[in-house]
Amino acid sequence: MIHSFKALSEKFEEKFSERIFPESPANLYNPAQYILELGGKRVRPVLCLMGNELFNDLEEDAYSAAIAIELFHNFTLVHDDIMDEAPLRRGKPTVHKTFGEDSALLAGDVMLVQSYLQINEVDDRFLKRLIQVFSKTAREVCEGQQLDMDYAALPLEEVRMDAYLNMIALKTSVLLAGSLQMGGILGGGSEGNLDHLYAFGKYLGIAFQIQDDYLDAFGDPEKFGKQAGGDILVNKKTFLLVKAWELSDQKQRQEITALLENDDPEKVGKMMCIYRNLKLDEWAKEEKKLFVDKAKESLEKVAVLSSRKKELEKLIDILLNREN
């Protein structure tokens, strides 16, 4: 029997709710435990479990890999929040705001180490391949974060869509793809199938990011649960902003530049007006569909019974037809 995302999510949460770190030193492990207990959708570890089930019955090893992945993901959140000076994470004070930057830095480090200890639990047969995929992915996530910071510091006109897309893929997609692949390895998937599964995850991640950017600008604030235009407010380089520049004429570019450089109380409204004039809402929907289609095609190419793919197909809907 193939489990649904929700069922696997519950199974994972059960294992993950046990305390992972020792009690002492409290100033090291409490910050680590704190972020783990802030919750989250646990998409990445569940993808790992689903990657396993795509090929075979769920292995106990897949939970070890899944826990490693969720630890790694939370490590990146802790360090990213330090770099971004973010005050909130999932509506709660970030780790560095709660425990100080030094403890947050070190707690992140120990979470990364712990993720390898979790992977190390898997059967010897799979260990080397899992560490290879996991570490390559981890390196790429670091590259993505650095490129994100690089692009944040660049003037908008120097950020090209293809480079931006590559950054997003590294920063967000490769971990989804790597999670699926690690599960697929444990499920005994063949090289070719694993490649298709990886591509599925990569396209899915990009579609998800496009949707995220779309919702921040065009989403219903009621359903979305936060103020619309948050990205615009902080000059975040999103798919929309990069595309806006690409599509703009001389006059619009001047306007965008002025909005980015000056404190305009109506910045969000004015930028949204440009976005609407450029029909970026339609563009984003189409672009998202493009990547969803690519994801679906990749999944189709995985040579297993179509019944095994059902839950991953449903997942596309769960992740990509949301309005909140």
Judged by the rule CB under 8 A, the positions of this chain that interact with a second copy are 25, 27-28, 79, 82-83, 102-103, 105-106, 108-110, 112-114, 116-117, 120, 124, 127-128, 131-132, 135-136, 138-139, 142-143, 145-147, 149-150
Q: Cis omega before residue 25 (within 30°)?
A: yes
Give me the least distance between CB of 79 and a second copy, in Å please.
6
Closer to a second copy at the Cβ: 5 or 164?
164
Residue where the block lists tokens 């997942």: 315
**Closest by Cα among 234, 233, 245 to 160:** 245
Q: Which is nearer to a second copy, 44 or 288 (CB)?
A: 44
Read off φ and ψ for residue 317, nearest 5 degrees.
-65, -40
Q: What is the DSSP letter of 157?
A: G
Provide CB contacts within 8 A for 197, sequence distance 6+. Answer: 51, 54, 177, 180, 181, 184, 189, 298, 299, 302
Minimum CB separation of residue 274 from a second copy in Å reads 30
The phi-psi region of residue 21 (left if phi > 0; otherwise alpha if psi is between -120 and 50; otherwise beta) is beta
> Which CB sits closer to a second copy, 145 or 211?
145
Pick the closer one to a second copy by CB: 133 or 284: 133
Whose Cβ is closer to a second copy: residue 31's or residue 219's? Answer: 31
How many CA atoms within 13 Å lie on the side-chain side of 30?
Answer: 9
In this complex, which beta carbon is closest to a second copy, that of residue 166 or of residue 257?
A: 166
CB of 102 to a second copy, least distance (A): 5
Distance in Å, CB of 37 to a second copy, minimum: 19
Q: Closest approach of Cβ 136 to a second copy, in Å? A: 8
Among the listed residues 35, 49, 38, the one whose alpha carbon sits nearest the alpha carbon of residue 6: 49
Pick between residue 108 and residue 189 the one whose CB is nearest to a second copy. Answer: 108
Token readout for 249 is 């004429």
The partner residues of 92 in beta bridges, in order of sequence, read 89
Task: Find the shortest distance in angstroms from Cβ 215 to a second copy.
Answer: 27
The nearest distance, CB 20 to a second copy, in angstroms, is: 12
Q: Which residues contact 284 (CB under 8 A, 6 or more apart)?
A: 210, 211, 213, 214, 218, 239, 240, 243
State the minimum distance, in angstroms, from the CB of residue 109 to a second copy.
5
Where does residue 19 rank: exposed (0-12), middle (13-18), buried (19+ CB within 10 A)? exposed
Which residues have a Cβ under 8 Å from the Cβ of 250 and sit 6 or more positions away?
A: none
Q: Which of 153, 305 has the CB closer to a second copy?
A: 153
